[in-house]
Amino acid sequence: MKRALLALVAGALTFTTPALADVHRTTLVLVVDASASMAGDNISAVRKAVATLTTTLPAGAQVGLVTFSSRGVETVEPDVDPAVVLSALGAMQPSGGTALYDGITTALDSLADPAHSRLVVVTDGFDTSSTHTIDQVRAGLTTSGVLVDIVTVAAPDRNLKTMKRFTDAAGGRVFQAADSAELQDVMQRAIAQAMPSPSPSPTPSFSSPSSATPIASQGGSGNGNSEGAGRGPSIPVDVLVTFAVS
């Protein structure tokens, strides 16, 4: 009788982890203007803002970096350790013109899983050097499924309109900093809102005992393979007191 009761409970109790796998696929990529106008206070503000990721990046999430200028586009592959990005930013020496469209396009092309990724773009000027066009960038943003936020510094109205076209295509938003003094706070706010969600705690879920596999055929262990709509896979718990989530 006790064995039968344990089998019935084991078959009815499931453990769901709705977004456990998503956290490890979630990537934040910073796309940073490395042109000459970003030298000095602007790049210093960016470095300070990004430094907050060392204490705020959720476990399992990744952060990457793309820098752009007329000298070319450089990438740092996403990593769970923000120090990799901070090191690259620290070594960056802004110079040359602005290749914003090439930077965004390279960032989109580098994403392994756009649907679970987000870009935060930082720039202080117009594009002057890209081989890609506005229309090509918008088309890439529209089809990629990635969310894109853009932080501008002292941007004139014409530039803001271009940035808005990009964020409208990607479902993101434009953040405006009046000058380098505001840039750190504005970028920190943009990063905080784009931050991947932390791994959720597993949530116990109870199904009806009648849906459990017949006790006699399992010898005290139910299969518990029911899945709720919109939820992650259910992991059977075969021991009433001790759980293991793989």
Of the ranges 36-40, 51-55, 85-89, 205-209, which one carries the lowest mean pLDDT score? 205-209
Strand partners, 203: 16
Q: Are 68 and 34 in contact (CB under 8 A)?
A: yes
pTM of the model: 0.71
Q: What is the pLDDT of residues 98-153, one digit of tens each?
A: 999 999 999 999 998 888 899 999 999 889 999 999 999 999 999 998 999 999 99
Q: What integer pLDDT is reported at residue 40 of this predicted model? A: 95
Span 197-238, pLDDT tens digits: 554 544 444 444 444 434 343 444 444 444 444 444 433 333
22-26, 160-164, 165-169: least confidently modelled range: 22-26
Q: What is the largest CA-CA distance in the chain?
A: 79
d(CA 109, CA 114): 9
